[in-house]
Structures are given as structure tokens and as C-alpha cells.
Amino acid sequence: MQIRKLGLLAAGPLLGILIEDTHAETENPATLDDVIVEASREVGHGPVQGYRALRSASATRNDTALAEVPQSLSVVPAQVLQDLDSSRIERALDFAGGVARQNDFGGLTLYEYSVRGLTTSEFYRDGFSANRGYMNAPDAANLERVEVLKGPASSLYGRGDPGGTVNLVSKRPLPEAFARLDLSAGRWDRYRSTLDISTPLDDQGDMLLRTNLAIEDNDSFRDYRSGERQLFAPSFSWSLAPETRLLVQAEVVRNRQVFDRGVVAPGKRLGGVSRSDFFGEPGNGDIRNNNETIQAELEHDLNPDWTLRMASHYKQGRLNGYATEASSLAADDRTLNRELRYRDFDWQDAITQLELHGHAMTGRVEHQLLIGTEYERYAKDERLLRSQPISRIDIHDPVYGAPRVPFSTGPGGRSSDRRELVHGRALNLQDQMHLGERLFFLLGARYDHYRQRLDNEVNGSRARQTQEALTPRIGALYQLTPTVGVFANASRSFKPNAGADAGGDAFDPEEGIGYEAGLKLDLLDRRLGLTVAAFHLHKENVLTADPNDSAYSIAAGEVRSRGVDLQLSGQVTDALRVIGAYAYVEAEVVRDNTLARGSRLLNVPRHSGSLMGVYAFQGDLWRGLELGGAVNAVGQRSGEVSDGGFELPGYTTVDLLARYRFSEQLTIGLNLNNVFDRTYYERSYSAVWVMPGEPRNLTASLSWHLW
């Protein structure tokens, strides 16, 4: 943004008179040189200054001010993960409000999480589905921000759950030339290095290149668990003409890790074994998960009001390896039954989007329009071998090295060899309406056509389904005062159920609806932003046991979630930045053929909250020093999908951090996590799959701006 100050010329004669009266006679008025002031404007996909974002594209697929979006959207900038010295985006989600940790597939992926009490396996990257298959958990090294759109998002993104959707925003090339090297080392032989390099490729700055690299090698507080990860993520942008822009982004991840389901709870009581005990087989080796992603986006301004966007995204991956996993605990509460599993999965996902974005006026109403279409082809080949008979281990005196047992194969066995092919087509329509400066409306709808083929090569079954859905969305926001806005919205969700019932027929898709109302506030002279919302969500056609044959399922279950959540972020003073969240969630079963009405949903606490603050000293004596801390509190949760009464206890952890900037180039830091060494449990799938949280640990880091 450039502001050219020429107004002082008009004040020249008056200045001359004043000088003449007090000093010497002046023949001509004074003329000052032009002054040019440059400032950067935040964009919805770009970096965030501090902890508070003002714009986003996740809620509308347009770069929109958050104050104008009639829906809750939590934005957690990359700065939060940098301050925490964490590569796990789950740490960022702790500050989004109402996001709970679910199954992480033995530590390999962000397999599932829940928003506002309802579990989903969908998350997105730059508006593209990013979790088809078993993609590696996203690495913070290539992320600019983590955004959580609360409530159903099917009208924008297609199939999904009504609780909410996570969209990860990748780093893009920047016009500045820089190179930043980050090194960290911590307890349990954890070592991590990242390198972020950006450079223009021509004198005009039309071609820009940015590359992010990450290498991580770590053991764990969990016995025998270790892993390695390498990431290479280049991106390239090119302004082919003033009205035409090209962006190409790629990411390659190599990851290997010991598969780890966690500890067991004998008698459904936690604490009977150490949080470090490992109940697999160390000799199984690592699971390897390798992924490649590339996407390209071309934008062309047809005129000042209309822009055409075409984008394509392709990813592929393969996961393979052995793991011995707990299956049940014997009646003596110490003999653990286990089975050996071999996985060989591979998948490919191709998505193409074509969108027309534009502005139009009808009378005094301003419209920001989106017309889009999307095509997706997803293919997965999943081969899983499972052992029978089982192997056993004493949880109080584990002895490893059990001989490898044979796999169970054939139509009567427990192994599987499945091939899935999905074709999806969609049409998006959206209208963001501005009625003056205070009233904002949003209308949107998406039509999805979904076709799935699922072949089981073991038993010869062939399942086919075709589904269609229309998912509307409506919202309104009224700016009561310059600092207080009130909003409300309603929307629907749609997600096909995989598989078939006892008769071989495809299940009806899950359908959800969400209602939300709340406030958006600017506090402390607009330094602090706060969003508060109440919500009601309902989902039907949830799979439940077939009452005529419990070996099969039917789409007849219902669940419901109600509550309140909030998120705050901002710069309280020039020295203090903060981010925090709180959620009260009542998520329960409404109808099920196995669970009682009112049963709580898995891993969802009624109360959860977080708060993080960093103070940057301003005085000359301590300038360059930053001190901060974070508190994360999670309430009691249901530990398994049953009425058996297995509960995970609530917990509170405290983290501390310190940074000292020696110069513009060099900064060192310390992070002390779980300061009081609390024993806690992050997530659970059953009483034999419970993942404990990390004990107290210290990490030292160094950040060096090479240029």
C-alpha cells in the first residue's frame, strides 16, 4: 500500500506567513519532498502478524475479512507452533476451541479428530481434501496457518461431518529473499532441523521460489518407539502477466515409525502399568509411510471484477509394514492377547477445480459471487493380513521375541484384500451480500454426485453405491457497533457410508444439520478479537449393529451435540500476545441398537480450555527476551464406544518457554513441557488402546536467519 502525502503543499502559504512574522521575510512558501509510506496488507492465505488473523479464505473460498463471515472460524497462526517448538498440528488445534484428539492410527497419521463433539477423518489443505488414504500427519514446517471452520462445511467442501472442518494453509513464495535455519534438540534423543528459503528468480520479482525442508529423528518416552521423518516442500509462483498468476506447490514426505497403540487399562482402570510400557513386538520393525503431493493453480483476471481460477491437486502414498497389536485382555487382567498384522496400502487421489469469482451490484446490494465445479477420482488398494491363532504377553512382566504366527487367509479368515474406487462430481454456488456497511448475508449450496465401487478379493463381494446430495448454507451477520457483531447460520452436511448391509445394499449416507449463533467482538481498542458461539448439531444414518445379525450394520443411528465455544487472540499490549479457547460440549447418542440413549461419544470432554501468552520485553536492558507459558485443560472423557464405564480422567498441563534474540540473525530458545510432570492420557479407542501423554521434557532450539 502506498500513500503519497502531497497535502502539505496546501499548507505552504500559511507556514510562510508564520515564519515571516517571527523571523525573516520569505518570498515563496515552503515545499516538502513527497513522502511514501509502505505497509503490507494481510491476505487470507498469507502470514499473520502475531497471533490474530484478520482475514481468511477457508470459510468462503474467497479472501474475506473474518469480521464479515457469519460463522465461527478459529485461526491458529504458525507463530503459535513456533513458540511451542512443536511440529504437531494437534498442538495448534488445542487453541481452536472444541477440537478433541481421536484415533491417530498408531502415531502415523492425523487419522481422526472431533470438532464440537463429532468425529471426522476429513481435513483439507489449501481447499483440497488432504486425508484420503493414510496420509502422514501434516508437518508444521510447511504451514502458514491452521484454520478450523466450525459447523457443517459440505456446502463448500463436499462430504464431511457437521462438527467442523480443518483447512491447512501452506506456505507460499514471498517477494523477500531470506533463509532461516531452525535446529532443536530435546529429551529422548529428539533432533529436528528445518530450513526455509525464499528467493526471487528475476529482477522484477515476477518469479518467486520457496523451499521448506525438515529432518526429524526421535525416540520416545515409550519403550521401543522411534521414528524418522524427512520433508521436502518446494513452491513456485509466476506472474505471467499483470492479470495472470501461476502457483505450483509440491510436498514429498518420507516417514518410518514403530506402530504403537499405547498402554492397557486392566480392569478398565488406568495406572496399572507404566506410561512407557510397550506391548507390541520390537522385532516387527517400522511401518513406512511415504507420500507425494503436487498441486497447481492458475488465476486469470477477466476484468477488474471477475477472476477465473483453475486448480489441480494430485497425491499418492504407500504404507506398509508389520505390527503386533493388542486385541483383548484375559480374565486374569494381566495376560494380553495380541495379533500380528501386516499392512500394504497404497492410494492415489486426483482433484480438479474450476471456479469463477466475481463482484456485482444489484441496486445498493454488493455481491461477491462464487461459481465452482469439482471432479475427484480416488483409488485405494488395501491389503491387511491378520494372524490367527494369537500371541500373548504378560503386561506386568513382558517378554518379547514371540515367534511370528501364521496369517489367517481365505474366505473364512480375518484378513482382507480390498480395492476402492470413488468418482465424485460437484457444483458450488455462493453469494456473499453486503447490504451497506453493517449487514452481511451468505447464501450457498453444493450439489454432490458420488459413485463408489468396493471389491473384496478375499470373499469375492462387490459393493456398489451412487449417492447424490444437495447441501445448503445460510448465514447473516449484523454489525451492532464498530466493535460488536452478532451472527447466526444454518447448514447441512453429507457423508457416504462405506460398505454394505446384510443384503448387499449400500448404506444411506450420513446426513447432518447444524445451527449456530454468536458474537464477534473487538476488545481493548481492537487489539484483541473474541468469538463466542452457541451451537446445536444433529447427525443421522450413523452405522449401528443390525438387530437381526450383529455381524452386519445398518444406517439407523443418531447422535447429537450441543454447547458453547469461544476463541480469543490478539496483541493485548505492544509486549503481550495471547491466544486461548474454551468449549463446553454435550455430545451424546440419540439412537443406537447397542448403546443406550444419552451415552457420551468417544474422547469428547464436556469442558476443555487453553490459554497461551508470550511477553516480549521492550526496555533497552531486556530487549530481545521473550517469556511465555501455555495451559491446556481437558475434562473427563469416555474411553471406549460402549456402556462399560471406561473413562479417561481429566488433566491440566503447563508449558513454559523462553526466547532470547541476540541479534537480527540469531535467536535461542528453551521449552519446558508438562512442567509438573502430570500423568495423563491423550486419547483412547478401547481399554487396550490408550495413548498416554508425554512426561516432563525440555527442548533447546536455535533459529538462525542466514540472510
User: How much is the pLDDT for 550?
Assistant: 76
Chain-centroid distance, C-alpha 163: 13
pLDDT tens, position by position, 533-581: 999 999 999 999 888 887 778 999 999 999 999 999 999 999 999 999 9
- 148 domain residue, yes or no: no
Confidence label for 463 from pLDDT (cuts 50, 70 and 90): confident
pLDDT at 677 exceeding the cut of 50: yes
Closest CA relative to residue 74, chosen from 165, 179, 182, 157: 165
- 220 domain residue, yes or no: yes
CATH code where residue 681 lies: 2.40.170.20
Confidence label for 497 from pLDDT (cuts 50, 70 and 90): confident
Q: In this structure, are 30 and 175 located in the same domain?
A: no
Calculate mean pLDDT across residues 386-409: 87
Confidence label for 410 from pLDDT (cuts 50, 70 and 90): low
Query: Mean pLDDT of all residues in the chain?
Result: 90
Number of structural domains (the chain) is 2
- 64 domain residue, yes or no: no
Number of H helices, E strands in the chain: 4, 40
- 351 domain residue, yes or no: yes
The half-sphere exposure of 623 on its side-chain side, counting CA atoms within 13 A, is 7
Contact indicator for 654, 674 with CB cutoff of 8 Å: yes
> Bridge partners of 295?
249, 313
Residue 91 has what DSSP assignment? H
- 164 domain residue, yes or no: no
User: How much is the pLDDT for 429?
Assistant: 97
How many other CB atoms sit within 10 Å of the CB of residue 131?
21
Closest CA relative to residue 605, chosen from 582, 626, 589: 582
Q: Which amino acid is at 105?
A: F
Contact indicator for 583, 564 with CB cutoff of 8 Å: yes
Contact indicator for 598, 588 with CB cutoff of 8 Å: yes
Contact indicator for 321, 309 with CB cutoff of 8 Å: no
* Cell numbers that stand for 295 in this block: 498441486
What distance in Å separates the CA atoms of residue 588 and residue 598, rounded to the nearest whole number? 5
pLDDT at 9 exceeding the cut of 70: no
- 553 domain residue, yes or no: yes
Between the alpha carbon of residue 700 and those of residues 193, 310, 661, the distances in Å are 12, 44, 14
Residue 505 has what DSSP assignment? P
Beta-carbon contacts of residue 299 (< 8 Å; ≥ 6 apart): 244, 245, 246, 307, 308, 309
Calculate mean pLDDT across residues 380-409: 88
User: How much is the pLDDT for 706?
Assistant: 92
Confidence label for 644 from pLDDT (cuts 50, 70 and 90): low
User: How much is the pLDDT for 438?
Assistant: 95
Least reliable range by pLDDT among 34-43, 284-293, 497-506:
34-43
Q: In this structure, are 29 and 173 located in the same domain?
A: no
Q: Output the DSSP codes for 296-319.
A: EEEEEEEETTEEEEEEEEEEEEEE
pLDDT at 103 exceeding the cut of 50: yes
- Which residue segment(s) compose the domain that 469 sits in? 169-301+317-705
- 599 domain residue, yes or no: yes
* Cell numbers that stand for 128 in this block: 483440497
Chain-centroid distance, C-alpha 508: 28
Contact indicator for 222, 691 with CB cutoff of 8 Å: no
| Phi, psi (rounded to 5 degrees) for 122 | -95, 130
Contact indicator for 435, 364 with CB cutoff of 8 Å: yes
- 143 domain residue, yes or no: no
N-terminal to C-terminal alpha carbon distance within the chain: 25
The b-or-e profile of 96-129 (16+ CB within 10 A means b, else e) is: bbbbbbbbbbbbbbbbbbbbbbbbbbbbbbbbbb
pLDDT tens, position by position, 284-319: 999 999 999 999 999 999 999 999 999 999 999 999
Q: Is residue 346 packed enough to be buried (19+ CB in 10 Å), middle (13-18) or exposed (0-12)? A: middle
> Bridge partners of 251?
293
| Phi, psi (rounded to 5 degrees) for 555 | -90, 80
User: Would you say how long the chain is, in residues?
Assistant: 707
> Bridge partners of 64?
56
Beta-carbon contacts of residue 574 (< 8 Å; ≥ 6 apart): 618
User: How much is the pLDDT for 7?
Assistant: 35
Contact indicator for 439, 476 with CB cutoff of 8 Å: yes
What distance in Å separates the CA atoms of residue 354 and residue 296, rounded to the nearest whole number? 12
